[in-house]
Amino acid sequence: MRSGNEPATARSALRLRFWLSLWGLVWAAAGTAAFSLAARPGWAAVCGAVALLAAVDLAVVVHRIHQGPHYQPGPDIPPYEPPRNER
DSSP string for residues in the chain: ---S-TTTT----HHHHHHHHHHHHHHHHHHHHHHHHTT-HHHHHHHHHHHHHHHHHHHHHHHHHHT-TTTS--TTSPPPPPPP---
pLDDT > 80? residue 2: no
User: What does the pLDDT look like over 34-72, one tens digit per residue?
Assistant: 999 999 999 999 999 999 999 999 999 998 888 765 555
pTM equals 0.65
